[in-house]
Amino acid sequence: MKATQILTEEHKIILKALDCLEKFVLESKAQNELDAAIAEIFFDFIENFADKTHHSKEEDLLFIAMNKYGLSMEMGPIAVMLEEHEQGRNCVLGMKDALESSNIEGFSVNATNFIGMLRNHIYKEDNILYPMANNSFPESESTKLLNDFHEVEALNGNIRIRNFYNLAKNLCKKYEVPFLADSEIPNLKSEFL
Ligand SMILES: [Fe+2]
Ligand SMILES: [Fe+2]
């Protein structure tokens, strides 16, 4: 198994949460009310799973490995991905500011930008960046990355991915979004869940 397969399967969980966030935004606008407790659940997922769990595997491990095998961090696809991670963080700050002032329109604009940007980002990683990574370094590097992923998760008592997988599953139930079948995330299931 390639280490990037784990990241692609994490993307599937993130995409499900984005579908739910989209429904939350529509519901908030329709009811002209922002439920702060639910917004906090989305912030927890985005900041602690999409960013701290997933993006840190990319920024601290995958991109560094790609750089070791000759890909620039300052220009080209890795630089674009890093820039988009920053854009996402700014959208979340915008969503938080809007929530504080109960500004539904502001929340909606930032959330919609975030959802569109991240879906596009994930598409580019799955279809361009990860294949590029797999072509740029040898199998031994992929195996090392996978071991590093395990180490990162072990530092968190191996519960982080499981907790956020369950959180996304519950959100999907609430917003009537079909959740992932085990067969869609076979590597994540056998390695981390
Ligand atoms: Fe990324
Ligand atoms: Fe990613």
How far apart are alpha carbons 107 and 43 in whole angstroms? 12
Q: How far apart are CA 62 and CA 60, in angstroms?
A: 7
85 C-alpha to ligand 2 centroid (Å)? 9
125 Cα: distance to centroid of ligand 2 (angstroms): 6
Between the CA of 189 and the centroid of ligand 2 the distance, in Å, is: 18
- Ordered by start, the domain boundaries in the chain are 3-184
Which ligand is closest to the CA of 8, given by its number?
Answer: 2
Ligand 2: centre distance to CA 109 (Å)? 22
- Find the 48 Cα to ligand 1 centroid distance in Å: 14
Ligand 2 geometric centre to CA of 101 (Å): 31
Spacing, Cα 122 to ligand 1 middle (Å): 7
**Taking the model in full, what pTM does it have?**
0.97
Distance between CA 182 and CA 188 in Å, rounded?
Answer: 9
Task: Compute the distance between CA of residue 97 and CA of residue 92 in angstroms, rounded to an integer.
Answer: 9
Packing angle, helices 3-31 and 160-174, rounded to 10: 40
Distance 39 CA to ligand 2 centre (A): 22
| Topology classification of domain 3-184 | Four Helix Bundle (Hemerythrin (Met), subunit A) (1.20.120)
Nearest ligand, measured from the Cα of 84:
1
User: 121 CA distance to ligand 1 centroid (A)?
Assistant: 6
> Residue 39 burial by CB count (10 A; 0-12/13-18/19+): exposed, middle or buried?
buried
Tens-of-pLDDT digits for all 193 residues of the chain?
899 999 999 999 999 999 999 999 999 999 999 999 999 999 999 999 999 899 989 999 999 999 999 999 999 999 999 999 999 999 999 999 999 999 999 999 999 999 999 999 999 999 999 999 999 999 999 999 999 999 989 887 778 899 999 999 999 999 999 999 999 999 999 999 8
Cβ < 5 A residues, ion ligand 2: 125
